[in-house]
Amino acid sequence: MPKTVDHDERRSMILGAFVTLVVRDGLHAVSMRSVAAEAGISLRLVQYYFKTKAGLKQSGLAMLEKLSSERWEKRVGGLPEASTVMETLRALFVEALPTDKQGREFHLLWTAYAVLGETDPEIPNRMIVEGPHRLLRRVASLLKQGQSLGEFDAELDVDSEAVVLIGLIHGLGTAVMIGLKSGDVALKLLISHLDRLRAPRGPDPRVLR
């Protein structure tokens, strides 16, 4: 009886080899032949699943975004049901900063794609910005939710502040990657900025007596 092939598993195996090579050698150095060698399969098999090098790179980026989204959902899903918006945003910061192996790999891969996208027409810009745009919308939505719950200043421009927060996440992520700041310091800086967005406290009733 012929063996049943799990095509999804095989695609994942090939993409896993692709990621290993990108992290180790850089995206520019990866070829379909080197991916085949890393995966221990024939070049023809890699070509069967991904057709071209461009198809392989695009699939790698799509996988990157999928894994990032899954990690974020898992992180938020692990929070207590009564968590505040501040706590949810803190969980996002923890997930986004490259403080573990997976986080560092993601940051390195995404940065490699962002750089390559400037010169490689095979990597459409829309594919690179889809992830950040999705994150931007989510952060803005959380800030707006925080406003409605009284956690953040009602006068806050949530769209502008979401852009600032995403910029801080990416910038501090790079600072962590190169050793300029530790993950703990980067997280404290993000929380410190978020604290500035809190709703102003009313006057201390003891002062009014």
Asked whether residue 40 is domain-assigned, the answer is yes
pLDDT of amino acid 42:
95
CA atoms of 36 and 70, how far apart (whole Å): 27
Same domain, 78 and 10: no
Total domains in the fold of the chain: 2
pLDDT of amino acid 117:
82
Same domain, 94 and 135: yes
Same domain, 178 and 77: yes
Asked whether residue 165 is domain-assigned, the answer is yes
Report the CATH number at residue 151. Answer: 1.10.357.10
pLDDT of amino acid 76:
86
Query: Which residue in the block uniquely carries the two structure tokens 């719950």?
Result: 149
Residue 188: CA atoms inside 13 Å, Cβ hemisphere, count? 5
pLDDT of amino acid 2:
52
pLDDT of amino acid 5:
72
Same domain, 131 and 29: no
Same domain, 27 and 80: no
pLDDT of amino acid 13:
95
Report the CATH number at residue 44. Answer: 1.10.10.60
Same domain, 3 and 30: yes
Asked whether residue 103 is domain-assigned, the answer is yes
Same domain, 35 and 65: no
pLDDT of amino acid 207:
39
pLDDT of amino acid 128:
83
Domain ranges, residue 141: 60-197
- What number of H helices and E strands is found in the chain? 10, 0
- The rounded average pLDDT for each run of 10 residues, N- to C-terminus, in the chain (209 residues) is 75 94 89 95 95 92 87 87 92 93 89 85 81 92 96 95 96 96 96 92 46
Asked whether residue 205 is domain-assigned, the answer is no
Determine if residue 5 is left, alpha or beta; phi over 0 gives left, psi from -120 to 50 gives alpha, anything else beta: beta
SS3 for 148-203 is HCCCECCCCCHHHHHHHHHHHHHHHHHHHHCCCCCHHHHHHHHHHHHHCCECCCCC
